[in-house]
Amino acid sequence: MLPKSYRLRKNNDFRITYKYGKSFSTKYLVLYIKKHHKDDSRVGFSISKKIGKANERNYLKRRLREIMRKKLPRVKSGHNLIFIARKGITGIDFNEIEKNVEYLLNKGKLFNEE
């Protein structure tokens, strides 16, 4: 489970990230990135009610949280990240979602140099 300190939860943080952040997208996901002055990077997820029923949306959020829990140690600190799910994402498997997330993080240059 993604620790609470790494979750983006406040409405104002979401609003600022949407308004001033950069966005990158794939067929199934959109990523908004906004730099901030805190130590840790925080992640938020937004899934529209147009995508399936509540249990499908919650299942998708759990999958995205797990993917980010594994990838967060490699992500640069000091960023707000918001993942927005698009229609059709419920029909793909975990590995495909993980590839989409990795692609977006690479595109946003968010991985630490190794």
51-81 pLDDT, tens digit per residue, is 999 999 999 999 999 999 999 999 999 999 9
Residue 114 in this model has a pLDDT that exceeds 80: no
Q: Within a 13 Å sphere around the CA of 99, how many CA atoms are in the beta-carbon half?
A: 7
Tell me which CATH code domain 4-105 carries. Answer: 3.30.230.10
* Residue pair 76/114 in contact by the 8 Å Cβ criterion: no
pLDDT score, position 37: 85
pLDDT score, position 45: 97
- Residue boundaries of the structural domains of the chain: 4-105
**Residue 80: left (phi > 0), alpha (psi -120 to 50), or beta?**
beta
88-106 pLDDT, tens digit per residue, is 999 899 999 999 999 999 9
Q: CB 107: neighbour CB atoms within 10 A? A: 14
* Residue pair 104/24 in contact by the 8 Å Cβ criterion: yes
pTM of the full structure:
0.93
